[in-house]
Chain A
Amino acid sequence: MESGPIDHLIFLGKRLLQATLVMFVISLIGFSIQDNLGDPLRELLGQSVSEAERQALRDQMGLNDPFLVQYGRFLSKAVQGDLGDSYFFKRPALDVIADKFIATLELVIGATLIIVFISVPMGCYCAIKPNGWISRAVMGISIVGISIPVFLTAIFCIYLFSVELGWMPSFGRGETTAPFGWESGFFNVDGLVHLVLPSISLASIMLPLFIRLIRSEMMEVLESEYIRFAWAKGLNKYRVWFLHALKNTLLPVITVGGVQIGTMLAYTILTETVFQWPGMGFLFLEAVNRVDTPLIIAYIIVVGLIFVVTNTVVDVIYTLVNPTVRIAGKAS
């Protein structure tokens, strides 16, 4: 009755096909906004070049070819890792983004850790004691929290912890070291201190959502027959709550979490701007201001890729860890 390795391969194949399809659509969208962002030649050459020269260059660059031909060329280069050169940096757009990737990753990891370590205990507590005053307070604050924009949280954090209390630096990434070959702020105190406020701000958008999600999932699980049976077996409450109920609660939360990591990337643009955090989001905003089209497109495609990869990985992990999903695939 167990699902064999073949089922897993088929499932994996389907998921990969889906992911490829989504990437294809993202690349198409990314490519087609090119025309809407102004004439790339103007960015390259300035105003003082004659119309004839301009046309010659257009032909040479293939800008007069039909859309599909241009897109095909774009795609074949893209799969080889070439998304064009940034107009501003005069370097491959992907390299420019890669330089900033670690900084953004640090922020996302910091925010994710904050979310996990706060939302799981709080969500559980509010589910176990739904009528206590702490739970009511948490629920009340979280509903307000959902509607506070990130930049307000960020400015409030800066005001309180940097300006008033002077505990935390208000901008920048701080010192970075590279004990494992990549430059990161994770491995020294100054880098970590700089990470605190931006991570809190970024986490603040998702935190209320996750507390509420975990609470409602867990409350539902606690009402189930198998939990009643666990009580009837005489298990102690911690085993019932934190093994029997929590494991069933977290499985659906993992899926939502995967999707939210993608959404969080979008919010890094705001957070990085407020804190002048030198990451991909900050870079993107600069690229928009400079109409650096290749860099904008490269950013969209990279973020799209991260989104698709995390979703696929989360889906696959979910299937592997959840025994009941394994047959669901089998039964169909």
Chain B
Amino acid sequence: MALLDVSNLNVEFPTRHGTLHALRDVSFTLDKGERLGIVGESGAGKSLAAFAIINLLSKPGRISGGTITFEGQDLTAMDTDALRSIRGNRISMIFQDPMMTLNPVLTIGTQMVETLQAHRRISHAEAKRIAIAKLREVTIPSPEERFDSYPHELSGGMRQRVVIAIALLTDPSIIIADEPTTALDVTIQAEIMALMLDLCETHDVGLILITHDLGVVSEVTQRVNVMYAGRVIETGSTRDIIDAPKHPYTRGLIAALPQQNEAAQRLNQIPGSMPSLDGIPPGCAFNPRCPHVGERCRREIPALRALGEQQVACHSAEEVAALAGNGGSAS
């Protein structure tokens, strides 16, 4: 059995003008020590999927269906106290912007020690020892001094290292990282990503990496979910999907990667933009932007189905797959 099994997860936002369905039938699994990528444009529902796992959806949002099974227990059916013993303990999170993640008026030390003490009966001295060891592990210089620093005394990169150290404090089995390098200076993005990969490997921690960067996904993860307008539209091993995408949207994302076409033409962005939740067209949500759109795509929502090694939700997947094969042999 998988460590984490998300099955048919639905998330909705009740609003004055009706209910917005933000996630529809999202399913995926994560094994121990496995690294899963979730990719898609901004607004696809990646963060919602992450926050739904530990039941931290922002205000009117709620899980309206599906199960989230972690170590055999359904997180959606858990009471607050039981859930709290999992949050930050068995499943940790890393947020996008380290400048906003740490509390500005509490020291790094306070924010680390409290995390340990929330989950273990442990003295302050012992917690401090563990915290400093973790700070050293994420290569923060002079960790004893940094322990007493306030967040603003550290650079963005250093703060994200602190957040990573906090995520690792309790030896979790899963870390969910929501665009952990997007807000950082480009020069240190790769460094932080490499650090995370290294730590996940050495501690055998499972990683759910949310990003809109397929390049990072291909370097770090073993499997990937591609999301569009609240649905998983393609899923499988990272290698298979990068080499032979079967959904036109995934194919578009890959074509837009800079290194793929620097010799060919300029950035190959998918034309148009993702619809907002209240403007999703009937049929396949991607159909207005799709080069392979057919009459059926405008009527019928494609279900996720197995095709070769991966699963894809597209009526024209075979056609796209054939194209991918051609593209591969031509380059």
Binding site for B on A (CB under 8 A): 1-2, 223-226, 228-236, 239, 243-244, 247-248, 251, 322-324, 327
Q: Does B267 contact A (CB under 8 A)?
A: no
The reply to whether A231 and B87 form a contact with Cβ atoms under 8 Å apart is: yes
The reply to whether A225 and B106 form a contact with Cβ atoms under 8 Å apart is: no
Q: Does B144 contact A (CB under 8 A)?
A: no
Q: Does B232 contact A (CB under 8 A)?
A: no
Contact of A323 among B58, B87, B105, B118 (CB under 8 A): B105
Residues of A within 8 A of B153 (CB): 1-2, 323, 327
Cα A324 to Cα B119 in complex, Å, equals: 29
The reply to whether B87 and A247 form a contact with Cβ atoms under 8 Å apart is: no
The reply to whether B118 and A233 form a contact with Cβ atoms under 8 Å apart is: yes
Q: Given A230-B103, A233-B118, A327-B152, verify A225-B87 contact (CB < 8 Å).
A: no
Cα A125 to Cα B105 in complex, Å, equals: 22
Q: Does B130 contact A (CB under 8 A)?
A: no
Q: Given A323-B152, A324-B150, verify A235-B118 contact (CB < 8 Å).
A: yes
Residues of B within 8 A of A231 (CB): 56, 87
Of all chain B residues, which has the CB nearest A231? B56
Contact of A248 among B89, B95, B103, B115 (CB under 8 A): B103
Contact flags (1/0) for B136-160 with A, using CB distance below 8 Å?
Answer: 0000000000000010110000000
Task: Tell me which residues from 161 to 208 in chain B have a Cβ below 8 Å from any Cβ of chain A.
Answer: 163, 166
**10 pairs from A and B in contact (CB 8 Å cutoff):** A226-B104, A229-B101, A232-B92, A233-B87, A233-B166, A234-B88, A234-B89, A235-B88, A323-B104, A327-B153
Residues of A within 8 A of B95 (CB): 225, 228-229, 232
The reply to whether B88 and A225 form a contact with Cβ atoms under 8 Å apart is: no
Q: Does B84 contact A (CB under 8 A)?
A: yes
Q: Which 10 A-B pairs have the closest CB atoms?
A: A234-B88, A233-B88, A225-B100, A234-B87, A323-B150, A232-B93, A226-B103, A233-B115, A324-B104, A229-B101
Task: Tell me which residues from 40 to 69 in chain B have a Cβ below 8 Å from any Cβ of chain A.
Answer: 54, 56, 58
A94 to chain B, nearest CB (A): 41
The reply to whether B118 and A236 form a contact with Cβ atoms under 8 Å apart is: yes
Contact flags (1/0) for B100-120 with A, using CB distance below 8 Å?
Answer: 111111100000001100110
Cα A225 to Cα B160 in complex, Å, equals: 14
Q: Given A323-B150, A324-B150, verify A234-B101 contact (CB < 8 Å).
A: no
The reply to whether B105 and A234 form a contact with Cβ atoms under 8 Å apart is: no
Residues of A within 8 A of B150 (CB): 323-324
B165 to chain A, nearest CB (A): 12
Residues of B within 8 A of A1 (CB): 153
B272 to chain A, nearest CB (A): 31
Cα A59 to Cα B59 in complex, Å, equals: 76
B92 to chain A, nearest CB (A): 8
The reply to whether A235 and B101 form a contact with Cβ atoms under 8 Å apart is: no
Residue of A230, A248, A322, A327 with most partner-chain B CB within 10 A: A230
Cα A76 to Cα B152 in complex, Å, equals: 46
Cα A248 to Cα B114 in complex, Å, equals: 17
Interface range for B: 20 to 34
The reply to whether A225 and B86 form a contact with Cβ atoms under 8 Å apart is: no
Apart from the given pairs A229-B101, A244-B103, A327-B153, 5 other A-B contacts in the complex at a CB distance below 8 Å? A226-B102, A233-B87, A234-B86, A236-B118, A324-B104
A105 to chain B, nearest CB (A): 31
Q: Does B97 contact A (CB under 8 A)?
A: yes
Residues of B within 8 A of A239 (CB): 114, 118
Cα A232 to Cα B47 in complex, Å, equals: 13
B259 to chain A, nearest CB (A): 32
The reply to whether A232 and B103 form a contact with Cβ atoms under 8 Å apart is: no
Residues of B within 8 A of A323 (CB): 104-105, 150, 152-153
Q: Does B85 contact A (CB under 8 A)?
A: yes
Of all chain A residues, which has the CB nearest B101? A229
B181 to chain A, nearest CB (A): 16
B237 to chain A, nearest CB (A): 29
A39 to chain B, nearest CB (A): 58
Cα A324 to Cα B107 in complex, Å, equals: 11
B184 to chain A, nearest CB (A): 15
The reply to whether B118 and A248 form a contact with Cβ atoms under 8 Å apart is: no
A270 to chain B, nearest CB (A): 37
Residues of B within 8 A of A228 (CB): 56, 58, 95
Of all chain A residues, which has the CB nearest B59? A223
Residues of B within 8 A of A322 (CB): 105
Cα A232 to Cα B115 in complex, Å, equals: 10
Residues of A within 8 A of B89 (CB): 234
Cα A236 to Cα B118 in complex, Å, equals: 7
Cα A231 to Cα B59 in complex, Å, equals: 14
The reply to whether B87 and A229 form a contact with Cβ atoms under 8 Å apart is: no
B290 to chain A, nearest CB (A): 35
Of all chain A residues, which has the CB nearest B85? A234
Contact of B105 among A223, A230, A232, A247 (CB under 8 A): A247
Of all chain B residues, which has the CB nearest A229? B101
Cα A92 to Cα B104 in complex, Å, equals: 51
Q: Given A2-B153, A229-B95, verify A251-B105 contact (CB < 8 Å).
A: yes
Cα A100 to Cα B322 in complex, Å, equals: 94
The reply to whether A233 and B56 form a contact with Cβ atoms under 8 Å apart is: no
Residues of A within 8 A of B58 (CB): 223, 228
Cα A323 to Cα B103 in complex, Å, equals: 11
Residue of A231, A233, A243, A324 with most partner-chain B CB within 10 A: A233
